Amino acid sequence: MTLQQVGHRFGQRVMLFHDVNVTLQAGHVYALVGPSGSGKSTMLSILAGWTTPTEGEVLRHGVWRVNWVFQNPCGVARRTAIDHVMLPYLAQGVTVECAERRARALLAEFGLERLADRQYRELSGGEAQRLMLARGVACNADLLLVDEPTAQLDIHTADTVNARLGALARRGTIVVVATHDHRTRDAATDVIDLEDYQ
């Protein structure tokens, strides 16, 4: 996936960023950083294909499936945690038994195995965030966009999430993480600092 001279602004305002030339490669975790208002969420939207940049273009060679894990988790209140993670597997055509087995293993990786049968509305903010990350991984996307994944997590859990995103990238996914967390930045393989494109 390649960004060629990408820039964006809203209306007649000053450009958020311009002349971004970056090639995103499978197997890498990109920390998307910059001060508040620098356009991190806008860049994620451009990468997702939801926003057309004001300038330049995005070439999506090899990227067919995109998943975005938002900063504020949003699930189905009365569905269980395991339901949320099983659904992407079922959509990929696996059996119910296989989907449940994979979902339980993934929940365990995010420290949620004891909450598998709990309804979403019963989860804390940090638990809901980890659940959405687990669901994002289950989607088996070519490009996984993650907005501030560790904002609601303690240090130990945040380190676990960072390691899991790294493991996912090593399986061939492009991972782009918008973050203010220096630990997440340090755990990434590459850094895209939007302040460099002001």
> Is residue 49 left, alpha or beta, with left meaning phi > 0 and alpha meaning psi from -120 to 50?
left
Q: For every residue of the chain, which 3-state class applies, written as one string?
A: CEEEEEEECCCCCCCCEEEEEEECCCCCEEEEECCCCCCHHHHHHHHHCCCCCCEEEEECCCCCCEEEECCCCCCCCCCEHHHHHHHHHHHCCCCHHHHHHHHHHHHHHCCCHHHCCCEHHHCCHHHHHHHHHHHHHHCCCCEEEEECCCCCCCHHHHHHHHHHHHHHHHCCCEEEEECCCHHHHHHCCEEEEHHHHC
Round to whole Å and give the CA distance between 149 and 179.
7
Share of the chain above pLDDT 90, in %: 57
Name the residue with tokens 């365990």.
108
* pLDDT at residue number 44: 95
Burial class (CB in 10 A: 0-12, 13-18, 19+), 172: exposed
Share of the chain above pLDDT 70, in %: 99
* pLDDT at residue number 185: 86
Q: How confident is the model at residue 8 (pLDDT cuts 50, 70, 90)?
A: very high
Task: Write the CA distances from 42 to 3, 17, 88, 197, integer angstroms.
Answer: 14, 10, 26, 14
Mean pLDDT of all residues in 63-71: 87
* pLDDT at residue number 163: 79
Mean pLDDT of all residues in 104-121: 92
Round to whole Å and give the CA distance between 64 and 143.
8
Lowest mean pLDDT among 49-53, 69-73, 107-111: 69-73
* pLDDT single digits (tens) 152-165: 777 877 787 777 77
pLDDT at residue 65 greater than cutoff 80: yes
Question: Contact, 81 vs 116, CB < 8 A?
Answer: yes
* pLDDT at residue number 140: 86
